[in-house]
């Protein structure tokens, strides 16, 4: 049976959700989606950027991640509103609940997008395009905002399809459609290809996704290392990742932080990641649990998100072990050039602290030392405060404090 995967993406999520709130909850008559408008942060900080904009604002040249001053120069009459985060989380939860009525497996990828495994559901909901239209129209009728739905046989192609013409559309991108629908697109439109990488590829004469797909993979690995191999696979529509829904008993722990400066150096990124690992490890030990899956995510200065994960050989809650794995994952994920605006560390595969661990002759002493070190640090922080003790790396001119990061959505 052919696999059928949907990617559901809310159109201009924050702007749409804000418009719905003002129309349905406040009784306003003006729809933000129909006028030049944007949801933005505080102009005095790095959060003072455009988070979401309306189509009229987009036609004026306003882009997501523009600073407020840049956006106002392009569109002086644009209405700007602050984000209403609690409401946005309610809207996110509501549309995910609808999706779960149509698929046994729904993976929430971010606050405004999700994957659905629709394989074998044709007898219930009809052919994929019919089912997608049904879901899309129901979300609009019941919740008041529109979505795009991409349909394919894997997650990558479904996500690419959902980015085609917007808003309120259903698109397919099956393997047999790749050459006609995806290959002509500029290489920067490929998932996981950031602005800096696209520029680098352009300098090599690789300007379209088709160019990338037909370039020798060995050459790409020489130029871009591991990322070159991944991009080549993506350009050919290859993706083996499965739609996976975390169960309540497999809850994750995570932290992320939006930075007041762009991270462009590996060592600076490591210091930020270490501070996030400190908090994750502390919370794991406090709850008496261990994790077996670790993921790292980052958001570029263009607000494009990338994520990579690995499964551990044995569950852990040791800060140093989590950090060691995080560094390896980050090295595989980042091209070393793209400016980073946000970093996150996420974990899943939660088990009890007494879960059996495969002993390793060469690491047994280390594990015991990690346990004692973590215990001592936890006790000091519990008694004297979070910043009463920190690692020496933060004395080397780093721009972060020794413990940072807000709780991620999965915690």
Task: Say which residue the tokens 């739905």 belong to.
Answer: 149
- What values do phi and psi take at 23, rounded to 5? -80, -45
Angle at 300 between CA 299 and CA 303, to 5 degrees: 75
Is 113 assigned a catalytic role? yes
d(C-alpha 287, C-alpha 367), whole Å: 19
162's tokens:
């959902």
d(C-alpha 208, C-alpha 339), whole Å: 23
| Nearest 10 degrees: Cα torsion 42, 44, 45, 50 | 40
Catalytic residue among 18, 107, 113, 268, which? 113
d(C-alpha 195, C-alpha 187), whole Å: 10
β-bridge mates for residue 309, sequence order:
295
Q: Burial level of 391, CB count in 10 A (0-12/13-18/19+)?
A: middle
d(C-alpha 309, C-alpha 291), whole Å: 13
Classify residue 393 by its DSSP letter.
G
81's tokens:
């509103």
Cβ atoms 100, 135 nearer than 8 A: no
Q: Are strands 170-172 and 147-152 parallel, antiparallel or unpaired?
A: parallel
* CA 67, chain centre distance (Å): 21
Write out the catalytic residue numbers.
113
């Amino acid at each position: 049976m052919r696999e059928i995967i949907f990617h559901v993406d809310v159109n201009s999520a924050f702007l749409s959700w804000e418009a719905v709130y003002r129309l349905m909850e406040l009784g306003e008559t003006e729809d933000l989606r129909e006028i030049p408008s944007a949801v933005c942060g505080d102009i005095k900080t790095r959060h003072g950027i455009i988070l979401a904009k309306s189509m009229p604002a987009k036609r004026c040249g306003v882009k997501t991640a523009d600073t407020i001053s840049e956006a106002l120069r392009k569109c002086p009459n644009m209405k700007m509103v602050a984000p209403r985060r609690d409401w946005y989380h309610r809207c996110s939860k509501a549309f995910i609940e609808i999706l779960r009525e149509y698929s046994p497996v729904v993976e929430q990828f971010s606050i405004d997008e999700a994957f659905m495994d629709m394989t074998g559901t044709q007898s219930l909901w009809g052919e994929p395009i019919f089912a997608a239209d049904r879901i899309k129209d129901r979300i609009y009728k019941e919740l008041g905002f529109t979505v795009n739905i991409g349909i394919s046989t894997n997650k990558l192609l479904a996500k690419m399809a959902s980015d085609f013409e917007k808003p309120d559309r259903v698109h397919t991108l099956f393997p047999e459609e790749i050459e006609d629908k995806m290959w002509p697109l500029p290489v920067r439109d490929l998932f996981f290809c950031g602005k800096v990488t696209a520029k680098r590829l352009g300098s090599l004469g690789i300007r379209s996704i088709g160019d990338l797909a037909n370039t020798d993979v060995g050459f790409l690995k020489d130029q871009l290392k591991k990322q070159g191999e991944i991009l080549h696979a993506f350009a050919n529509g290859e993706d083996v990742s499965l739609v996976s829904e975390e169960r309540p008993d497999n809850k994750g722990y995570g932290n992320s932080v939006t930075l007041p400066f762009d991270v462009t150096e590996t060592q600076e990124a490591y210091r930020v990641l270490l501070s996030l690992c400190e908090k994750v490890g502390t919370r794991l030990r406090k709850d008496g649990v261990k994790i077996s899956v670790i993921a790292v995510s980052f958001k570029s200065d263009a607000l494009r998100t990338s994520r990579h994960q690995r499964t551990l050989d044995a569950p852990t809650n040791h800060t140093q072990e989590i950090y060691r794995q995080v560094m390896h994952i980050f090295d595989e994920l980042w091209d070393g050039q793209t400016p980073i605006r946000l970093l996150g560390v996420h974990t899943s595969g939660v088990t009890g602290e007494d879960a059996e661990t495969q002993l390793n002759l060469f690491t047994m002493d280390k594990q015991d030392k990690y346990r004692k070190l973590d215990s001592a640090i936890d006790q000091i922080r519990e008694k004297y405060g979070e910043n009463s003790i920190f690692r020496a790396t933060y004395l080397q001119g780093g721009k972060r404090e020794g413990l940072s990061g807000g709780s991620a959505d999965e915690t």
